């Protein structure tokens, strides 16, 4: 009988220990840590997403800046060509002016007034 009593006490104590639903401080701490980790994971994922968006924006700005630089270089090159052409035209005009002045000077010597038969005087 003593064995039966011991067995029932043993069963009773086993059922009580198995039936306990009280959580230990370690379990609560572990759950709290898990929740904190989940929050940190979500924050980390959001930071990664924001970093990817910022990177895409920076790449777009870089591309637009590169295009603007190319356009500015082309425009500068075109302006330089126009300036060179204008300089060449001015040199040509100066040469033509000098040649015309020489021709007019020599032609003026030959021009005479029909009424008074005097030579035309060129004054500059």
- Given this model, what pLDDT does residue 28 score? 86
Q: How many residues does the chain have?
A: 124
pLDDT score for 19: 45
The model's pTM: 0.46
pLDDT of residue 20: 47
Is 95 part of any domain?
Answer: yes
Expressed as residue numbers, the domain containing 94 is 27-110
Q: How many domains does the chain have?
A: 1
Contacts with 8 (C-beta within 8 Å, 6 or more apart), sequence order: none
CA distance 111 to 11: 147
Q: How far apart are CA 113 and CA 111, in angstroms?
A: 7
| Residue 88 pLDDT class (50, 70, 90 cuts) | very high
pLDDT in tens, 21-58: 555 678 888 888 899 999 999 999 999 999 999 999 99
Distance CA 37, CA 42 (A): 9
- Per the domain annotation, does 73 fall within a domain? yes
Whether residue 60 is predicted with pLDDT greater than 60 in this model: the reply is: yes
Q: Residue 118: what pLDDT?
A: 58
Residue 70 lies in a domain: yes
Give the pLDDT score at 111.
61
Distances (CA, A) of 27 to 14, 21, 37: 21, 12, 15
Decide if 116 is inside a domain. no
Per-residue pLDDT at 72: 97
């Amino acid at each position: 009988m003593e064995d039966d009593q011991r067995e029932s006490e043993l069963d009773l104590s086993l059922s009580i220990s198995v039936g306990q639903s009280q959580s230990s401080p370690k379990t609560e701490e572990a759950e709290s840590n898990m929740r904190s980790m989940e929050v940190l994971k979500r924050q980390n994922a959001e930071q990664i997403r924001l970093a990817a968006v910022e990177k895409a924006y920076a790449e777009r700005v870089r591309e637009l800046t590169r295009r603007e630089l190319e356009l500015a270089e082309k425009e500068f090159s075109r302006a330089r060509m126009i300036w060179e052409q204008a300089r060449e035209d001015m040199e040509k005009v100066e040469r033509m002016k000098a040649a015309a002045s020489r021709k007019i000077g020599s032609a003026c010597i030959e021009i005479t007034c029909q009424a008074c038969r005097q030579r035309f005087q060129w004054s500059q």
